[in-house]
A and B are shown apart, each in its own frame.
Chain A
Amino acid sequence: MTGTQHAIHESMRSRIVANYRPALLWVTVLFAIVAFEAGAIFNLLVEILQGLVSVYPFGNPFAEQVASAKSVSESIPTLLSRETIPNQGWQTSANGPWEGTFLGLEPMAAWLLRFLLTYAYAGVIVAWFAYGYRLYRRHYRRADWTPTDDVVRRLSSHSWGKFGLAVVLVFLVMALFAPTLGPTTSEQNIENPYSYTMKHFDAESGSVEEIYVGDANSGSESQGAGDDNIGPWSYDDFGRFHPFGTLPNGKDLFTFMVYGARVSLFIGLTAMGIMGVLATVFAMVTAYYKGLVDLSVVIVGDSVMAIPQLLLLILVAAVFNGHWLDSIYNGGLLIALVFGFTGWPALWRAVRGPAFQVSTEEWVDAARSFGQRPSATMRKHMLPYVVGYLLVYASMTLGGVIIGTAALSFLGIGIDQPTPEWGTAVARGQPFVATQSWHIAMIPGLMVVAVVTAFNALGDGIRDAIDPQSEGSEGGTSTAAAGGGGG
């Protein structure tokens, strides 16, 4: 029996050494994956390093090293990038061949190819993780079964949850790979269109012209009817392909969306992080100590909940104007902080119930009886039971934060221009909803709906997975067979 066999090898390392082939295979695939995007990964690391160094308050001692690191990382090729598969090109003559695009394909085809490849790559990564987990379970894990296995099994048979997970992953990839996915980059098209030029075949003059991107944008505005509209999945007059059409100011909507996804994700995750940490810590502490501690947190939490979030945001935006905090993501960090510090009471209350329930279990008493430290008790004996609920409510709250951010941008008090954010697009497209430029408001709107629904679905899935009494699970039937308890 595999269980007893593994008992002989007490440490993980000896087990891997004993059965190295699957692990080797998995690590090889890891290298391949990293190699594919090596350049991008190193770039990212260097950028983070740069960011950290710039925030360092006492000058910049490593400036040289950082600069050289940057140039090195930039020279490493990235296989899946817009440089390798470019989609921005120009026709050499009317209806002539395309130049500057990948293999001379038309921009749409090139973009589509890169788009699909990116998602395929992401799919490979997900599959690789799943495979790694299965390998670990089958060959390297000491125990035959852990409680997480049941959760995973239930989640994998939950259709609604899987749908949610899938859409969430699509959203994540969109945010992470934004520069690769968009037909152009935010830098080029949205933020500094007048710092970049592009070439296109000018039908009037019959030759290839070079113009500023900004001018091209002015010529591709979507403002209602007829000619004044670049709809979804169409080319504009300058040979650029717009999968989602353009905005009223001519900027590409798809690029706007994918970079907006980044902003939403950043705000969402930061807010969630703050809320999650605060809610968990307070839930553990109040459930363990109860009494006066619980009462104080209740009072503080209720006070915080009584503050109107919208007004607070406006206040904060006004007060911190020009502060360095405001500069991160053009106010994105501020919004995240406000959401985080005002949203934790709701999350805390949601997990307070399960935390209290766990604290009444006898194993918590047992831990006290042999002198276990409170922090260890909270971590080992209470937290694992609360984490599931936390995930459920966190995923649903994340959806709420995304909607909240979009709403703020819609109202114009959220992210500052020109940083892309979905709500801004909705606001801009609002006057044109009933016209041919419906896509400006509808597409971002539908995306928000889809993403938030997906997060809720994921939350549903997690909740059903961690609950042993859920429909069709083993726990339910064996209770039934025992005659409804106590047979």
Chain B
Amino acid sequence: MTEVIDREETRLEAEILVEVDELKTYYDTGTLTGDPVKAVDGVSFDIRRGETLGLVGESGCGKTTLGRTLVQLESATEGRVVYDGTDVTELGGKELKQWRRNAQIVFQDPESSLNDRMTIGEIIREPLDVHDWPNLTASVDGVSDATVTGDANRASDPSGRRDADIRVTVENGATDVDVRDSLPLDGDDVTVDVDQSGTTPTVRVDVRPTKAQMRRAHVRNLLEEVGMQQEHYFRYPHQFSGGQRQRIGIARSLALEPDFVVLDEPVSALDVSVQAKILNLLEDLQEEFGLTYLFIAHDLAVVRHICDRVAVMYLGNVMELGRTEDLFEEPGNPYTHSLLSAIPEPDPTIDKEPITLRGAPPSPRNPPAGCPFSTRCPAKIRPPEFDHLDPDTWEAIDDLVRIVRERRRAERSVRERAREILGMETRFSDVEEIIVEVFGSPESQTAANVSAERAFTDVLDSLPRDMRDPIVDVTEHLRENDEQAALERLLDAFGSECDATAPDFHEVDTGGRVSACHRHEPEYDGVAETLRQRFDDRTIR
């Protein structure tokens, strides 16, 4: 156990490899296409060398887009991605292609990430062919200012992190050649000729195998690394199962020996027993090659197992970021609470009442002003004048807000507009029924011989006095088809800080975990406390 902690500690204190700064990736930003889809809406975090950072969230939260932007498969609209000191969003053309060797991506769907018409050997080899691998570098010790010619170029890595492929040591007239382990090359295959006559000494390095041979050997090594056999080189993808195809995808991503790999839901499409094998493989590879992972997933159990730190995303924003165990044991953000509570435990004796979120995430074209989670947050701050209302009434108010938002988004067809103008009934004109439906008790709704107006006034009367004015105003606005005004009135009466401004990140524990929620500010009750209050008080339906 201590060994584990030490490893984690070293990882967490390691230097930063990828720094993401206020990254925004929007789609459909053209003026002709309406509101852009704000897939990633201002995200900042760091990834440290050697760690596995998990990125979780539900569909539509932008995690896949974020992962793809990090490897420059999507262009960032704003913000920076700094990889080892270089701002990758600024790169283009040849520089970008060069940089691509450092960061690779493994895709989610094993069926569609491999070209069925190519043998898997060809698939894994393709990146090598594109970059004319290997571009051998040689470093020379013992001869100052030597020029390197032949099959290798002089190693020029200022940071000193990457070893040269071939190390030539000249000592007392004898030349010693040392080849990097992971290359498919032996010391015997390399001949070195040192020529110290003339003004500049030259070191000529000749390598016996051809590049094609080296590439083939490298692919075969990779196949073995990921648990396949060398004979599989000539087979086609459809001859393999999902798990094996995913292994091939992983092998392809490692072909160029990257330092950073984005894993885009690598095990989501696989069965449970196969998942386990692939996760074990990923961990082994990370150990062996010193890789840094960004692990994107929606399955929290998997993330808990493999990630050092986790970032929780919702609607293009990071809501919480911190060490995995701490985050799972004691979540800070209300969204993290909801997410964890919704995971079905594989243990039937636990009889938990999950915090079931109502409604669906808002559209990324129209994110709410203020906190993105404000439309569904179970711990949302309530205005003090209405804080005393019972949970059912609050649920009804939330439902009404949701309905109004939906109506605002819903399109009116030409026919409906015509009917409205003519004063005829359309599907939008049953405003009173909505209020009755939302606020009424079940009995009042099924009473058949009560007219709509009567039911409406009954329901209004049943509400607390200070609620009636806002509800009446809202009903008026809706009748006039002004959903925007209705929404504003509702938020004015029942809204709070959460609807108005976006929350800042606050530190929620000693381990450096941050969470974005207004409740972390000192003047409000804590998140866990609020949830306990609100959800234990309810009668379980």
Contacts and interface: CB of A to CB of B under 8 A. Distances in A.
A147 interface: yes
Contacts of B86: none
B98 to A, nearest CB: 8
Contacts of A376: 130
B104 interface: yes
Interface stretch (A63-71, A218-226, A366-374): A366-374
Interface residues of A, number: 28
B233 interface: yes
Contact of B117 (A142, A367, A373, A384): A384
B130 A381 contact: no
Contacts of A10: 216
Given A369-B71, A370-B100, A370-B130, A381 B233 contact: no
B118 interface: yes
A205 interface: no
A362 B109 contact: yes
A370 B103 CA distance: 9
Given A371-B97, A380-B115, A366 B252 contact: yes
A388 B71 CA distance: 33
A362 B249 CA distance: 11
A369 B74 CA distance: 10
Interface string B86-116: 0000000000110011001101110011111
A380 B123 CA distance: 11
Contact of B126 (A4, A143, A372): A372
A209 interface: no
Interface in B50-99: 68, 71, 73, 96-97
B208 interface: no
Contact of A363 (B113, B119, B130): B113
Contact of B256 (A145, A370, A373): A370
Given A4-B231, A7-B231, A369-B105, A361 B100 contact: no
B36 interface: no
Contacts of B97: 371
A437 B353 CA distance: 92
B217 to A, nearest CB: 12
Contacts of A365: 68, 73, 107, 113
Contacts of B127: 370-372
B71 A7 contact: no
Contacts of A3: 231, 234-235
A382 to B, nearest CB: 9
A360 B34 CA distance: 23
A3 B249 CA distance: 23
Contact of A362 (B101, B113, B130): B113
Nearest to B30: A291
Nearest to A369: B105
A369 B231 contact: no
- What is the size category of the interface that chain B forms with chain A? 35 or more
B358 to A, nearest CB: 29
A244 B100 CA distance: 69
Contact of B104 (A143, A369, A372): A369
Contact of A370 (B104, B119, B234): B104
B20 to A, nearest CB: 18
Interface in A330-382: 361-363, 365-373, 376, 380-381
A371 B133 CA distance: 13
Interface string A454-466: 0000000000000
Contacts of B249: 366
Contacts of A147: 116-117, 236
Interface string B107-146: 1110011111111000000110011000000000000000
Interface string B285-322: 00000000000000000000000000000000000000
Contact of B234 (A143, A369, A380): A143
Nearest to B249: A366
A142 B107 contact: no
A146 B239 CA distance: 11
Contacts of A6: 234
A371 B115 CA distance: 16
Contacts of A143: 119, 234-236
A372 B239 CA distance: 25
A385 B118 CA distance: 12
A384 B231 CA distance: 25
Given A147-B117, A369-B105, A373-B130, A7 B112 contact: no
Given A369-B73, A371-B130, A381 B231 contact: no
Contacts of A366: 105, 107, 113, 249, 252
A351 B35 CA distance: 32
Given A147-B117, A367-B126, A142 B109 contact: no
Contacts of A4: 231
A147 B236 CA distance: 8
Nearest to B108: A362
A7 B239 CA distance: 17
Contacts of B112: 361-363
Contacts of B104: 369-370
A142 B119 CA distance: 11
B368 to A, nearest CB: 30
Contacts of B108: 362
Contacts of A363: 112-115
Contact of A7 (B68, B114, B118, B233): B233
B255 to A, nearest CB: 8
B100 A369 contact: yes
A10 B216 CA distance: 11
5 contacts: A143-B234, A365-B107, A371-B96, A371-B100, A372-B130
Interface of B: 68, 71, 73, 96-97, 100-101, 104-105, 107-109, 112-119, 126-127, 130-131, 216, 231, 233-236, 239, 249, 252, 255-256
Given A363-B115, A385-B117, 14 more contacts: A3-B235, A143-B119, A144-B234, A146-B236, A147-B236, A366-B249, A368-B73, A369-B71, A369-B73, A369-B104, A370-B255, A370-B256, A372-B126, A372-B127
9 nearest A-B residue pairs (beta carbon): A370-B127, A371-B97, A362-B113, A371-B100, A363-B115, A362-B112, A362-B107, A384-B117, A361-B112
